[in-house]
Structure 1
Amino acid sequence: MANHSFSNPNMKIKTIAFDADDTLWHNEGLFREAETEFCQLLEAYMPQHSVAKELYRIELQNMELYGYGIKAFVLSLIESAIEISGRTLNVTDIEQILRIGKELLQKPVILIDEVEDVLSTLQGKYRLILATKGDLLDQQRKLKKSGLEKYFHHIEIMSEKKEPDYEKVIRHLDIQADEFAMIGNSLKSDVLPVLNLGGHAFHIPYHITWEHEKVDRKIEHNQLIQLTDIKELLQHL
């Protein structure tokens, strides 16, 4: 992947947008733990790896209807369990699934190392915004728990992160696409749409990637910078 510096004087970034989950704080690992517990719960009906595949199929099927986030995840858990059990699931099992979801909603927010140092360094030099997707209430809860809200000029919780969604954000901010940079862990959601619009992107891989966010091709672009961690961002801005 490209690894260029923003020392180019022609670059005029004014606004930096940060993804939230797995960019500012840990998230995907919590979903994996919940999914493992769910698969164990249904092991009597189907091997755990098969339960996981069926769950992913139903999540994809429901995405347009439910969107993203924990509540959408729990609805897909319940639907998967009903199908996997051949509609023999008992009330106790449904209660267990609801418990998994409620516990997920109450997990502490654990920041990724160096995040607050980076935000405090960049604040005042650029307009910082949060641009994340997911359930509105849940993302607001996590942001409040994180203690990071004070660093952001604007909060954008999106139902999707595709080109039209970023176009709306850029238009709302009253800037040009080449004045906008996005920082995130997902090539699919944080990088490709922004590059396609003419913006800049910094990709910081997270050690776990949700299957839906994977991109199975190499991306080369002169406005993409690949980082190993968020602290490295300061070397380019």
Structure 2
Amino acid sequence: MFRRKAVQSITTVAFDADDTLWQNEAFFRLTQAYFSELLADYAEPEHLEARLLAAERRNLGQYGFGVKGFVLSMIETAIEVTDGKVAAPVIAEIMAAGREMLAHPIELLPHAQEAVVAAAQEHQVLLITKGDLLDQERKLAQSGLGDLFHGVEIVSDKTAEAYVKIFARHGGRADRALMVGNSLKSDVLPVITAGGYGVHIPHGLIWALEQAEAPLDNPRFHSLADLGALAGLLRALQSGIKG
């Protein structure tokens, strides 16, 4: 007599931070628009955007993710498009814009706190985010959500191997973990590759380097309109029902 293999319950729920729990990309877009104004005499906005994106892609390995790398890429782009003629006051304005981004108040996204609280009732909850250490720590402290998490991981990049190690470090397994985030490339696909569940919460703005195709045919992939639907999905998954 054959018995159906029992479905392993989800023990860990992990959340991304930027553009999942609080706003982030919107501030990059505003700063980039200001950058275009500063360099308007040298390049059209579309051309400048393409040059900046190329610089960001080129510099990820050295500067990593976050505001500081963005500012350095803007300065590099300004030097390139002006053939080295960019004025010192323009560089100063770019640096000031970066400092303003680093000091911007946190704006929680809808249902962020209630989603974390609900998940923590029956699961271990982690925050897994990438970017500059000091900036991410600042945002978490200002968010008021810090005490809700059983663990916080700030990483240089999000890969399947990184997720496996993180879940193991907190006493769990990737195949019993669920990751919630706005980025298919960083929050969803690598966790599914590691054997876990990926829940996509679309955000209105997505950085070009974070775009990817949704794995619609994968049973461990789910997409929700917002964080308010997460508690219901968790209940459905725990009951063995696809949400």
TM over 0.5: yes
Give 3-state SS (helix, strand or coil) of 1:16's partner.
strand
Letter in 1 for 2:164: E
The aligned amino acid for 1:193 is P
**Percentage identity across paired residues of the two chains:** 39
Q: 1:177 aligns with which of 163, 167, 174?
A: 174
Q: Residue 201 of structure 2 aligns with which residue? A: 204
Residue aligned with 2:14, SS: strand
Q: TM-score, normalised by structure 2?
A: 0.92
CA distance in 2: counterparts of 1:133 and 1:219, whole angstroms = 25
Number of aligned positions between the proteins: 230
Give the corresponding residue for 2:183.
186
SS in 1 for 2:157: coil
Q: How is 1:63-102 mapped onto 2 (pairs within 5 angstroms)?
A: 63-102=60-99
Q: Could you tell me how far apart the structure 1 residues matched to 2:189 and 2:214 are?
A: 12
**1:125 paired residue number:** 122
Please state whether the residue corresponding to 2:72 is helix, strand or coil: helix
Could you tell me how far 1:25 is from its partner in structure 2?
0.3
**What SS is found at the alignment partner of 1:92?**
helix
SS at match of 1:236: helix
Q: CA deviation at 1:10?
A: 1.7
* SS of structure 1 residue aligned to 2:217: coil
Q: CA deviation at 1:120?
A: 1.7
Cα 1:194–1:186, aligned 2, differ >3 Å: closer, same or farther? Answer: same
Q: How far off is 1:132 after superposition?
A: 0.5
Structure 1 distance, partners of 2:130, 2:47, is 28
Amino acid at match of 1:117: E
User: Retained in 2: the 8 A contact 1:12–1:178?
Assistant: no
In structure 1, list runs of 5 or more residues that go unmatched: 1-8
1:125 Cα deviation (Å)?
1.2
Partner of 1:62: 59
Counterpart of 2:15?
18
Q: TM-score, normalised by structure 1?
A: 0.94
| Cα RMSD, aligned residues only | 1.3
Give the secondary-structure state (helix, strand or coil) at the position aligned to 1:55. Answer: helix
User: 1:217 Cα deviation (Å)?
Assistant: 5.7
Asked whether the equivalents of residues 163 and 174 of structure 2 are also in contact (C-alpha less than 8 Å), the reply is no
1:29-67: CA deviation from partner (whole Å, max 9, x where unpaired): 110000010011101001111111100000000001110
